[in-house]
Copies of this chain bind each other. A is one copy, B any other.
Amino acid sequence: PSALAQSQARAHQEQLTKPAGALGELEQLVIRLAGLQGRAQPCIDQCHISIFAADHGIAAAGVSAYPQAVTAQMVANFAAGGAAVSVLARLVGARFDVVNLGTLHRPDPDPRVLDRWLGPGTADFSQQAAMTVEQRDAALLAGAERLAQAQAAGCDLFVAGEMGIGNTSAATALGAVLLERDPEQLAGPGTGIDAQSLGRKVALIRQAIQLHGAGRPDVLEWLRCLGGFEIAAMVGAYLHAGQRGVPVLVDGFISTLAALLAVRLNPALAPWLLYGHCSAEPGHRLLLQALEARPLLALGMRLGEGSGAALALQVVRSACALHNEMATFAGAGVAGPGA
């Protein structure tokens, strides 16, 4: 981040026709974005949203309200423009792609979906490691590749979304490990399971953490044992964003868990991550706290797909428009305070 652009943006804010600080968090946001984009007048001309989709072996254990087939069905729905994030991407004029990293069945070729299929979903992490080393590394690379492509196409802000029946279980397991908390403190209803299924979800996660913890895994090994292809892809995209200097708007619970993994792997990434919203999934708040993140919105959403970030993008754009288009005291002939 550029300290010069940031201080120029701060000085510009003080000249705008409003009481100092009256735009609240929008002022801090645009000043921070100025530093990230290295220009005193930041803007989001082109936002890129990549949706990473994959299935999870743990879903067979009944931790989700929906069957695994929904992952592939939703991949088609994203591509056809009918999913929530598809609608929001259109509304905000964001570029949008969908990456299939491993649905239960290998999909037929579809020109609207990027095929990076690594297998029929992960293995059931309550029994064995979710991924092989090769799968994990290929998923990390697939994410980094999307970021690089988006940047090459001129993206000012990157959003990673996800879809994967069972992935709140994987994210809860990884979150519990990283935050050193009992899974019960993070576990939530995901797509909407009842209390009994929630109890089973927590028990399976506890068991899995014990199983894999015996090998004293590091962060990348935990990701392999408990994660998902789409989670690894998001980690790869975020890490690459930090290296390439592309600001990221993080979405909900799963995205924030991927952000925490990425920041643990490279703490220098942290300044590049902005946070779009706080979801209703109970673990999200804990992850945000650990990242010292202040999300822009809190609307009780719990959908993932990048939907919360796509909504928050409108706040980021508004902050930029205000910064770049408002008149200054001098320009508008408005007296300043105490004048």
Contacts and interface: CB of A to CB of B under 8 A. Distances in A.
Interface string A45-89: 000000000000000000001110110011011001111100110
A7 interface: no
Nearest to A65: B337
Given A299-B26, A301-B24, A191 B65 contact: no
Nearest to A303: B22
A327 B190 CA distance: 21
A195 interface: no
Nearest to A327: B82
Given A192-B21, A299-B296, A301-B23, A321 B87 contact: yes
A326 interface: yes
In this complex, the interface size class of chain A, counting residues with CB under 8 Å from chain B, is 35 or more
Contacts of A67: 335, 339
A146 interface: no
Contacts of A77: 17, 327, 332, 334
A332 B87 contact: no
Interface in A304-334: 307, 311, 314-315, 317-318, 321-322, 325-327, 331-334
Given A302-B22, A327-B80, A337 B73 contact: no
**Interface residues of A, dominant DSSP:** loop
Contacts of A192: 19-22, 337
Q: Which of A81, A299, A301 has the most CB of B within 10 A?
A: A299
Contact of A317 (B91, B300, B333, B338): B91
Given A19-B191, A19-B303, A23-B84, 14 more contacts: A17-B82, A17-B83, A19-B190, A24-B299, A24-B302, A66-B336, A66-B337, A70-B334, A82-B331, A83-B326, A83-B327, A88-B321, A91-B321, A191-B337
